[in-house]
Structures are given as C-alpha cells and as structure tokens.
Structure 1
Amino acid sequence: MRSRAYALFAALMLAPVVVSAPALAADKISLRLPWLLNVQSAGYVMAREKGFYADAGLDVDIMPGGPNLNSTALVASGANTFGTNDVGQILLGDANGMDLVMVAACFQRHPAGVVSLEKSDIKKPADLVGKTLAYNEGGPWALTKAMLAKAGVPLEKIKLVVSPSDQLLVNGSVDAKTGFVINEAVALDLQGHKTSTLLPSDFGVSTYAEVIFAARRTVDGNPDLVKRFVAATQKGYDYAYAHKDEAVKIIVGLNNQLDPVQQAKQMELQESFVYTDFSRARGACAFDGAVIGETEKTLREFGDLKSAVDVSKTYSTEFIPPK
C-alpha cells in the first residue's frame, strides 16, 4: 500500500501542470451614428447582435446621433472611437482641422435626392423646369444642384422655396422637395401618397453615405483595431441583408418609436444602395478613392466646402478585407 501511494504521489509530481491563461478583455470602443437608430444602421447592429464584434475582440457601444450630436466632432474630440456619416460631412470636418480618416463606405449610392408625388410626372431633372422645389441647406441640396448642373437645368428656371416640410408636397404647395429617398419617400407612400424620386447618383453625381471614419490618431496608432472593426462590420452588413426580417425585428426592439412596416420597406429599399456591382465584387463597405475626390470637387462647387482639401489624406482603403 505504501509503495503504491508513493508511486501515485511521484506520478502526480511529475505530471505537467496546466494553467489556464486568463481571457483577454475585449477592446471597448464606441460607434457614433449620424442620426437616430433605425434600419439604416442594420449592419452595425447585427455585427454586435450576432457576435461578429465580440469574435473580433471588440465590445462596441452603438450610440445614436441627432440634431445636436455631430458624429464628426465627437470622433475628432475623442468622445467616440468611430463614427458614420456621408463623405461631405467628413471632408468638411477635415477642412476645419478635425483630421479624420475614412476607412469604409457602406452605402455605395447616396440616398439624398428629390422626392415628388407621382402625379407630378417628374421623372428627370429637366422635368423640374417651371416647377416649385422646396429645399433646405445640406447634403441633399448640394447633390441636387450638382445633378441639375450636369443635366443642364438652370436653377433660375425652377421656383425655389426654403423648407424641409413634407406637408408642402402633400398639400400641393410645392411640386417636389429635396430629402432622403430611403425614408421620406417610403413614409409618404405608406400614407397613400405615391411618390417618384430623382437620385443624383442616377445622373452622374457619385458619392458615398454611411462612411465609417476615425480620428487619424486611431488609424495610425491602432491599425489592427480599425482592421478588426471594419471586417466585423462587413460581416454584419452581409448578415443583415441576408436576414432582413430578423434585422428589422431586432432594431425595432431597440427603438420602439419605429414603425416596423416602414422599417421593413426601408430595409428592402436600402439593399440596392449597399450592394452594387462594385461592392459585390470587392465586398460590402469597399470604396474607391476616386469617388472621394469627385465629392470634394462637387462640394467646392455646390456645397459648403470653401477651400480645397488634400483628398489623399482623408481616406485609406487598406482596412477593407480582401475578397
């Protein structure tokens, strides 16, 4: 008995000791949206909900934007790690010394354009001649002016009214208005007002929306973090649009102010903005730097960009996963 006990003791002493390494804590970061949470942000929400961010070692807080929450300023200040917005807003931020870098562009076509009621029979830019167009300053108006210029339609031949109101369109006070076709047109359609839309992207004005950006200090100082975030976000976009019903249900659950029917229709419409021949070939959220350069020229001519920006310093395509 004593010899067997000694042998067992010796065996235990000689056995390798296995020590479990403590799990590495996920990098806690934040993403600031350009507006209130809705299906426009489905890609990020599903990346979090389906564990793609967690698998990449990221703990992501998705935070809404709003009228007094500017994603460019919040990222530049360090309050948020990443932000989303359109190219124009990021270029304007860089022109004002924010030093932001675009690393992905998830809406290949910009949803800003002109909304009209179908009965107005406005199907091309020239159809706005002699009509009344409501607008308010901002991205949709700059892109609309660029579209009209490319189509050879002088602004002097259109009656202009400054207003963001959809009601003016409904009551016939105006024939058309600038806005975002993925939500405003859908809302009007659901109210029984059949709409038509003009998209600058269909008439030679190219730019991106839902662009992911970070401060240069993040891009240069922690490129691995940026790479992991972009790759996981790409998975989130692909999952969201392959499971649209699930994505809508989850997002409506996160924001009970949303109309699930409208959100489902918006999600369906958005797919053609996210997936084009380019992004299907290169992967969701891939982008071309030439489009950034084109946007810079558009904003200098028709928008609020008062001086040239060195576009080459405003973006990096190196974080998009190879396909």
Structure 2
Amino acid sequence: MRTSWLGVAAILSTAGPAMALDKVSFGTNWLAEAEHGGFYQAVVDGTYAKYGLDVTIVPGGPQANNGLLLPAGKIDFYMGGNMISAFAAVEQNIPTLVVAAFFQKDPQCVLSHPGVGHDTFASLKGAPIFLGKEALASFYAWMVSAYGFSENDVKPYTYNTAPFIADKTAVQQGYATSEPYAVEQQASFKPNVFLLADQGFSTYATTIEARLDTVTQHPDLVQRFIDASAVGWYHYLYGDNHAANAAIKKDNPDITDAEIAFAIETMKHYGIVDSGDTKSLGIGAMTDGRQKDFYDEMAKAGAVPAGLDYKKAYTLQFVNKKVGLDLLPKP
C-alpha cells in the first residue's frame, strides 16, 4: 500500500524508526547528462527520500527503449521528449499522460555558420539543412508551415557534425545544450544558434509521463515525485550540484566536466528549465494555453491529427503549486 504524504511527513519528523520508502523507477530518454541534473540532484541530496521516495533512475540510450517500459508497467515514470509523443499516445489509445514539464523550452535548435549570410533565422530558408527523420515529422514540419522552409533543402543527418562543418552554407539540427559545444570543439568556431522555442515552437520538453492507473490510484505518489523533482532542479541550477554531476558521470563515464558545465550554462542562459510561467508557478509548470497553442500549430503543420482530443495527453493536477520558489536565489 502506498503511504500518504501527510503520513510520511509525520513519520520523518519524529525520532522513531522511519517507514520504508516507496520505491519508484524513473526511466530517462537518453544517457545520463546535465539535462537530467535535477533528478540526479534529488537522489543524491536526499530530496526524494525526504518526500518518502526511493527513486531509481533508469538511463536511456541508443540501445534502450524506456518509453515502452512505462505502459508495460516495468517503470513508474518516463521522461518524455516533447508533447508530440504525448499527442501520439492519445491517438493510439496508449494509457499514459504527461503530469509535469521540467523544460519550459525545448532545447531543439538549428545551427549555421556565422558571417556567411545566415545570421538570422529568416535567412536560413533555402540553405541546405541536415535533419534526421524524426525532425521532418516534428519541428521541421512546423518550420515549413510557420516560416516557409522547404523539404527540398533537406539532407540526411547522421548525427555527425563533419558535413555541416565542411559546408559553410549548411544548416544543421541540434540541441542547444550539446551540438554547439561539439562544433566549437571540433572546428574552433562558435556557430549561430537559433533556439526554436524562441522562434515560436512552443512545446514543453523533458516531460514526465505516468500511466493512467498510477495517476488515478496513487495520486499522492505522483505528487511527491513531481514536487521532489522540482526541488531537485532548484538545487541543481542554483545550489551545489557537484554530487549530482558525479552521479551523472558514474552512469555515463564518457561525459566530461566541460560538457556538463556547458549544458548547465546553456540551460540557464536560455531559461530552458526556469523561465516564463515557472517564475510564478514553479519549475515543472504547464498551462492549458501553452498546450493549445502548440497543438494548434502542429495540427496546422500536419504533424498531429486535426480534431484530436489533445487535452487527454496531459493533466495540470500536479503542477503550478509554486513548490520550490522559496529556493530561488535572492536578488
């Protein structure tokens, strides 16, 4: 039986023996990295434990498919990418929904070479652009619909930056937290970075997905996981994150301190985690208005079906409670 949060709080505040923590498994969608830092922070600094949780992070990666483990009941929560996959779950009658969004801005970006006439987002139209297959059906469909880009300019992206570096006229997809750093290290120049969120691609990202039965049968568990994760993100961004970064490196030995530092600085610079609605509602915030705006844009682009009951993709039940706002650094 799940323990209520009020019960856990009472137990943890006494000197008596503590009740066993609720075990929770959380699957990420990629190898451990700074973009997962708040969750690692909540593990290593005891925040999850304070909320009565024993959380195991199950890293994703190229050989993992944690997204399938959630509806199969093998994990309790899953880190989604953006809302497109959540809309697809509604279309396919998959019994999951988004319960929080820890990135207010999707880190998805496009890169260009500086000083060759591609220094504004509008100027990128007509340039050869390296894109993966998933990009064509998601953010590039939006770029075509909203800004008039063309699929005729697309070249296949194999997640190798060398072709982009070699062609000064080219554009490439990327994540603001990683590819710009890789290009700078490999080619010794800073590319132009156009964050699609700042151009109107209004999806939430790094969402938390749960099964419908978990939400309906164990809402207290969901609430504690979301609240503790929010606190973890405040501590990771604004406090001492050394132990969390060490845990990230333990799960992903190939990542470097420099890569972690770049990602953290980028998340802060663009307000990827903490901006907009989070300033008044707390990290993890979502609103109906943002969800409707993104759904409408993607339906117009043909990336999701028109007439979909998109509100079945998410719930605001567990967010917008101002958890952690008191942890913000004082001006």
Kindly report which structure 2 residues correspond to 1:120-269, keeping only aligned pairs within 5 A, or say none: 120-139=116-135, 142-151=138-147, 153-155=148-150, 159-164=153-158, 165-172=160-167, 175-191=170-186, 192-243=188-239, 246=242, 247-269=244-266
Which deviates the most, 101-110 or 65-74?
Answer: 65-74
Tell me the residue number matched to 1:285. 284
Gap change, CA 1:287 and 1:269, over 3 Å in 2: same
Kindly report which structure 2 residues correspond to 1:87-126, keeping only aligned pairs within 5 A, or say none: 87-126=83-122
TM-score normalised by length of structure 2: 0.84
Paired residue type of 2:153: K
Which deviates the most, 191-200 or 301-310?
Answer: 301-310
Tell me the residue number matched to 1:66. 61
Which deviates the most, 45-54 or 300-309?
Answer: 300-309
Paired residue type of 2:284: C
Distance in 1 between residues matched to 2:89 and 2:169, nearest whole Å: 33
Distance in 1 between residues matched to 2:87 and 2:163, nearest whole Å: 32
SS in 1 for 2:277: helix
Distance in 2 between residues matched to 1:140 and 1:224, nearest whole Å: 39
Q: Alignment RMSD, CA only? A: 2.3
SS in 1 for 2:295: helix
Shift of 1:154: 4.1
SS in 2 for 1:277: coil
Gap change, CA 1:184 and 1:117, over 3 Å in 2: same
Shift of 1:181: 1.8
Paired residue type of 1:287: M
SS in 2 for 1:190: helix
Tell me the residue number matched to 2:267. 270
Residues 197-234 of structure 1 deviation map (CA, whole Å, 9 limit, x = unaligned): 22221222201111011000000010000000001000
Gap change, CA 1:141 and 1:58, over 3 Å in 2: same
TM-score normalised by length of structure 1: 0.86
| Contact 2:284/2:320, CA 8 A, preserved across alignment | no
Q: Can you give the 5+ residue segments of structure 1 that lack an aligned partner in the other structure? A: 1-19
Gap change, CA 1:145 and 1:312, over 3 Å in 2: closer
SS in 2 for 1:287: coil
Distance in 2 between residues matched to 1:94 and 1:72, nearest whole Å: 15
| Contact 1:27/1:58, CA 8 A, preserved across alignment | yes
Distance in 2 between residues matched to 1:179 and 1:163, nearest whole Å: 10
Aligned residues: 302
Paired residue type of 2:209: F
In our comparison, the structure showing a higher alpha carbon Rg is 1
Residues 172-214 of structure 1 deviation map (CA, whole Å, 9 limit, x = unaligned): 1761112212111122123313111222212222011110110
| Contact 2:235/2:241, CA 8 A, preserved across alignment | no
Distance in 2 between residues matched to 1:163 and 1:222, nearest whole Å: 42
Tell me the residue number matched to 2:298. 299
Shift of 1:238: 0.2
Tell me the residue number matched to 2:311. 312
Shift of 1:124: 2.8
Shift of 1:150: 2.3
Gap change, CA 1:317 and 1:266, over 3 Å in 2: same
Paired residue type of 2:98: M
SS in 1 for 2:70: helix
Tell me the residue number matched to 1:41. 36
Q: Which runs of 4+ in 1 moved over 4 A?
A: none
Residue of 70, 74, 89 corresponding to 1:75: 70
Among all aligned residue pairs of Structure 1 and Structure 2, give the percentage whose two residues are the same amino acid: 25
| Contact 1:72/1:93, CA 8 A, preserved across alignment | no
Shift of 1:286: 0.9
Which deviates the most, 212-221 or 83-92?
Answer: 83-92
SS in 1 for 2:54: strand
